[in-house]
Amino acid sequence: MNELRLGLPDDWHVHLRQGPGLAAYAARTATSCGRMLVMPNTLPPVADGLAVDAYRAQIAAAAPSCQPLMTFKLLPGMGTAAVAGCLAAGCLAGKYYPAGATTNAADGVADPTSIHQELAYMEDNDIVLSIHGENPAAPALERETEFLPVVDRLIHAYPRLRIVLEHLSTASAVAAVLAWPERVAATITAHHLFFCIDDLLGGSLQPGLFCKPPLKSAADRRALVAAAVSGSPRFFFGSDSAPHPVSAKLSSAAPAGCYTAPVALPLLAEVFAAAGALSALEHFTSRAGANFYRLPPNRGELLLTRQAWQVPSEIDGCLPPAAGRQLAWQAVRL
Ligand code: NCD
Ligand code: ZN
């Protein structure tokens, strides 16, 4: 197959930042997606109704053809009134960042009991809990697996809460999701499906591939691909596109985050084609997530064509993963 039309995808996990880059980052996601679930780890964080409204307005102005779906950041002590304000402003999910786990997460959650009232309120109001599942105290490559017991306790403590474990990176997380009740789902990124840790540091170090959770083994990657192509309602696409300016990425303290928005759909097409599962791609990019978030599919289509291109070394002032590499597929929004 050299051409494939998909119902227009959604990106269920994207970082758009605030300030000068936002317009370009939002417009970039709009080239392949009809909706995007926008992560709230800006400075200051998106954690009250006014901030949600202001951030949505900036994004909508920059990318009118991609609907921003909003989230708020769970902050210990924020209180249920602030959560109610975020819901009134239309948030679909509250995001749980373990304190210190990733970019702008110093103010995150050190202990889940510190957000008990907020989680109970979310459960009562059927708002999704979105989790960055890493224990920052664990060794770097074990952080996701070591966080799974925390997710397990949350699932049992809040028996009606719907949960998305974000950007899976391990076979153990895939197995955990499948063992949990159906109200628990997960996003998977294009880079965790395409690359493994050897691509990051097996040759020369590739800062464009450094993210949290870090890329893992080839066996982990295979488990993620099996989950993504399975047609399960539990796994759907979230790019975790996380732009950092080239100057920061190439500094002596490179921040975590891959700017995948410009390459995500081509990477996914290549992964699904290699697995002989191109017919399962639409479910992963354009159906399963919408079903989980109880939204209709997008109108519109994305055309994927098998046509090689070389990823530039810089896009929107950022270093894309796969920079300089030939990719087999191109994506055009129809
Ligand atoms: C993200 C970022 O830079 O905001 N970084 C990353 O490595 N994924 C934050 C996140 O989702 O962890
Ligand atoms: Zn995250």
CATH number, domain containing residue 242: 3.20.20.140
Buried b (16+ CB within 10 A) or exposed e, 146-158: bbbebbeebbeeb
Q: Return residues with CB closer than 5 A to ligand 2 (ion).
A: 132
Residue 1 is predicted with a pLDDT of 82
Is residue 327 domain-resident? Answer: no
Tokens 């960055």 appear where? Answer: 132
- 134 CA from centroid of ligand 1 (Å): 12
Tens-digit pLDDT profile for residues 158-196: 999 999 999 999 999 999 999 999 999 999 999 999 999
Lowest mean pLDDT of 101-105, 263-267, 287-291, name the range: 101-105
Rounded CA-CA distance 25/59 in Å is 9
Tens-digit pLDDT profile for residues 189-223: 999 999 999 999 999 999 999 999 999 999 999 99
DSSP string, 49-78: HHHHHHHHHHHHHH-TTSEEEEEEE--TT-
Q: Which residues line ligand 1 (CB under 6 A)?
A: 15, 41, 102-103, 132, 211-212, 240, 242, 256-257
Asked if 240 is an active-site residue, the reply is yes
Is residue 324 domain-resident? Answer: no
Is residue 172 domain-resident? Answer: yes
Q: Which of 212, 249, 260 to mutate to test the pocket of ligand 1 (most atoms within 8 A of CB)?
A: 212
Tens-digit pLDDT profile for residues 291-334: 999 999 999 999 999 999 999 999 999 999 999 999 999 999 99
Is residue 130 domain-resident? Answer: yes
- Residues 6 or more apart whose Cβ sits within 8 Å of residue 130: 13, 37, 71, 93, 94, 95, 96, 163, 164, 166
Range of the domain at 164: 8-297
CB atoms within 10 A of CB 57: 11
Is residue 146 domain-resident? Answer: yes
- 266 CA from centroid of ligand 1 (Å): 21
Is pLDDT above 90 for 83? yes
- 307 CA from centroid of ligand 1 (Å): 30
3-class secondary structure, 85: helix
Tokens 């699932």 appear where? Answer: 155
The pTM score is 0.98
Are 122 and 78 in contact, with CB atoms under 8 Å apart? no
Band (pLDDT 50/70/90 cuts) for residue 79 is very high
User: What percent of the chain is predicted at pLDDT more than 90?
Assistant: 100
Question: Average per-residue pLDDT in the chain?
Answer: 98
**How many domains is the chain built from?**
1
Q: Which one is catalytic: 107, 126, 240, 316?
A: 240
Is residue 306 domain-resident? Answer: no
Among 320, 246, 316, smallest CA distance to 25 is for 316
Is residue 330 domain-resident? Answer: no
Is residue 318 domain-resident? Answer: no
